[in-house]
Amino acid sequence: MPERPSPGLDPRMHTALHRLDLRIVRRLEGLLHGEHLGLRAGPGSESAEARPYQPGQDDVRLMDWSVTARTTQPHVRDLVADRELEAWTLLDLSASMDFGTAEEGKRDVAIGAMAAVTVLTQRVGDRFGAHFLHRGRIRRWPARSGKAALMSLLATVAAAPAGGGDAGSAGATLAEALEDLARTRSRRGLRVVVSDFLDTPPEAVSAASPAPWERALRSLGTRHQTLAVEIVDPRELDLPDIGLVTMQDPESGRTRDVRLTPQLRDDYRQAARNQRAAVRAALRRCGVPHLLLRTDRDWITDVARFVVEQRRTAHRLSRHTPAIPR
């Protein structure tokens, strides 16, 4: 039975979202089977029931001292792997994400990336929610599960108006949005940050001058399984040889006539290369996996390759994790 469009949603938009969902499901079909791995290497991170300590068999580091003190008998507390997680996506919908020169813009690819992660999450029964950084405000979408919730989430994002709002008005930054996500969603799970990270200065290649969002993302990654998805358009990396053009800053709305001379194009290319290197370095220091998606590439294939490689890496780590000494 076909799904009924969400109230107030353009039927054409609903059809487009349904096609996007089908594309993602069909292309990623068969990549993930079974339950996901725990968030930490080893037996797990969630506490189970306490039981009497078995000398020579149990690790003394698992000793439950509170139970031991109450019963006057040594007790340990087993750990179980995390099986049911909450997945939260922080989606950057700032004005720079409205840019795009390929068939799909940066916002389209960002929404698709969020949908792909959510599809993989909801298929194993996890709940998923989202925070949006839109027009300088942080908006929250509650955690739910199921196909209907996914379509409602996509419809909410797709209906968000483009543009940066009031030019020159101060608003929330990506760092503040990351801090808000960490503060309001404390239960351990998956955290996905989708952004172009354009507010990263080129000097952020070293820890001496970190990116403005680096501290918040590192803090988020210490508690949760975190993934950073960077969205890039080819025109942000290189400029075409087309002479005089009028350029507009999507964040401030300011315009300027620029003649694209060979020297200017070379300087721009080098600056863009330095800025992207700074993003990679900052994400590496945060210790989070980094997925780069371009608007001029098949981003679903890139997501699929990334997921497969992450699973292989996790499998290798689980095989080579040393056993806890007894």
pLDDT, tens only, 108-125: 999 999 988 888 777 666
| Residue 280, pLDDT above cutoff 70 | yes
More confident of the two residues 23 and 92: 92
Q: Which residue in this structure is represented by tokens 């002479």?
A: 243
More confident of the two residues 93 and 250: 93
Kindly report the number of other CB atoms within 10 A of residue 259's CB atom.
Answer: 9
* Residue 284 CA neighbour count, 13 Å, CB half: 10
More confident of the two residues 283 and 20: 283
265-278 pLDDT, tens digit per residue, is: 999 999 999 999 99
Confidence (pLDDT) at 56:
77
User: Which of 299, 313, 294, 318 has the alpha carbon at shortest distance from 28?
Assistant: 299
| Residue 219, pLDDT above cutoff 90 | yes
Confidence (pLDDT) at 36:
46
| Residue 176, pLDDT above cutoff 90 | yes
Contact between residue 290 and residue 310 where contact means Cβ atoms under 8 Å apart? no
The confidence band for 139, taking pLDDT boundaries of 50, 70 and 90, is: very high
Q: Which DSSP string corresponds to 187-215?
A: S-EEEEEEE--TT--GGGGSTTS--TTHH
The confidence band for 127, taking pLDDT boundaries of 50, 70 and 90, is: confident
Amino acid 307 reads: V
The confidence band for 78, taking pLDDT boundaries of 50, 70 and 90, is: low
**Domains of the chain with CATH codes:** 11-32+84-320 (3.40.50.410), 46-80 (no CATH)
The confidence band for 203, taking pLDDT boundaries of 50, 70 and 90, is: confident
Distance of alpha carbon 192 from the chain centroid: 2
Please provide the average confidence, as pLDDT, over all residues in the chain.
Answer: 81
